[in-house]
Amino acid sequence: MSKGYPIGGAGLALRRAFINSLADEIPSQIDFMEVAPENWIDVGGQLGRQFRKISEQIPIICHGLSLNIGGQAPLDEVFIHQVKEFLDLHNIPIYSEHISYCADEGHLYDLMPIPFTEEAMHYVSERIMRVQDILGRRMAMENASYYAVVGKEIEEIEFVNAVLKKADCMFQIDINNIYVNSINHGYDAEDFLKALPGERIIYAHIAGHYVESKDLCVDTHGADVIEPVWQLLGVAYKHFGVFPTLLERDFNIPPLNILLKEVETIRQYQIEHESSGHLIRQE
């Protein structure tokens, strides 16, 4: 386990497409795995047994999909209590979600951007604090990808930093989202990254995306990680120190052995930067 973090090393998001490949043992390349609690709460039968076996062998963390932290509807506190029970049952140390909304008089089946305004910042922060009160722990929030924002009053970096500070939550940094947003909105990815609160980082995501055109990328998690995104991860390690990092793959999922090559690339970046003196954060 990395000092200063409840998990450590290189991780892989658990997907049902390859869960049978984990039946005998967890590959040594994987230090931890991540699931969406919505996909596993109250799952029984063979899948439930498989998940329980995995959770007993390797640390599991949670990355939610439907908290709807920026939505106008009241928080679903019944669901939040279910998440708490799931986290406690499986000894899950981290629960993260997106700084976005996903429902508006019905589920939208996508993560929509929150207007970058002072009012929205206070609203979202207060909802995060309520979730943390129910969970009895701090949660982590992720910087989301987005393609258009209505009613923008402040910059994205100001909004993200203000939410994290006011809610006093942890930060789950998504490297690919920074890159995708930098292409789509014409800003410098390294400058944005370096302005984030490194002391709040608890772990990172890295993933692939779809290139629609030279100035439009779509955050699909359906392709290999490209070199500029790997390089941005290296910049993050150099600037903040090495932190736990997880590979996401949601579509066009290749065989597990292919995914493990990218997980091993994460590990090599971590080893390289630790040996260069970009040490793991101490607490």
In 3D, which of 80, 76, 153, 77 has the Cα closest to residue 122? 153
For residue 218, name the pLDDT band (cuts at 50, 70, 90). Answer: confident
For residue 1, name the pLDDT band (cuts at 50, 70, 90). Answer: very low
pLDDT digits (tens, 9 = 90+) for 182-205: 999 999 999 999 999 999 999 999
The single residue listed with the structure tokens 């909105």 is 185
In the chain, % of residues over pLDDT 90: 79
Please give the C-alpha separations between residue 35 and each of 62, 77, 92, in angstroms, as whole numbers: 5, 20, 10
Number of domains in the chain: 1
pLDDT digits (tens, 9 = 90+) for 54-82: 999 999 999 999 899 988 889 999 999 99
For residue 24, name the pLDDT band (cuts at 50, 70, 90). Answer: confident
- 1 falls within a domain: no
* Arithmetic mean of pLDDT, 35-42: 96
DSSP 8-state class, residue 12: E
* pLDDT value at residue 147: 84
In the chain, % of residues over pLDDT 70: 92
- 281 falls within a domain: no
- 82 falls within a domain: yes
For residue 219, name the pLDDT band (cuts at 50, 70, 90). Answer: confident
Q: Which of 43-57, 117-131, 143-157 has the lowest mean pLDDT?
A: 143-157
* Arithmetic mean of pLDDT, 116-137: 97
Q: Which of 39-53, 136-150, 152-166, 222-236 has the lowest mean pLDDT?
A: 136-150
Check whether 110 has a pLDDT greater than 80.
Answer: no
**CATH assignment at residue 54:** 3.20.20.150
- Residue 178 CA to residue 209 CA, distance in Å, equals 12
- Residue 140 CA to residue 28 CA, distance in Å, equals 27
- 5 falls within a domain: no
- Which residues on adjacent β-strands are paired with residue 108? none
For residue 278, name the pLDDT band (cuts at 50, 70, 90). Answer: low
* pLDDT value at residue 135: 98
| Average pLDDT along the chain | 92
Helices 175-185 and 227-240 meet at what angle, rounded to 10?
Answer: 120
* pLDDT value at residue 115: 87
- 49 falls within a domain: yes
For residue 102, name the pLDDT band (cuts at 50, 70, 90). Answer: low
- Residue 163 CA to residue 141 CA, distance in Å, equals 9
Range of the domain at 264: 10-275
Name the 3-class secondary structure at 101.
strand
Name the 3-class secondary structure at 196.
coil
For residue 105, name the pLDDT band (cuts at 50, 70, 90). Answer: very low
- 4 falls within a domain: no
- Residue 283 CA to residue 75 CA, distance in Å, equals 33
DSSP 8-state class, residue 279: P
In 3D, which of 5, 2, 191, 172 has the Cα closest to residue 100? 172
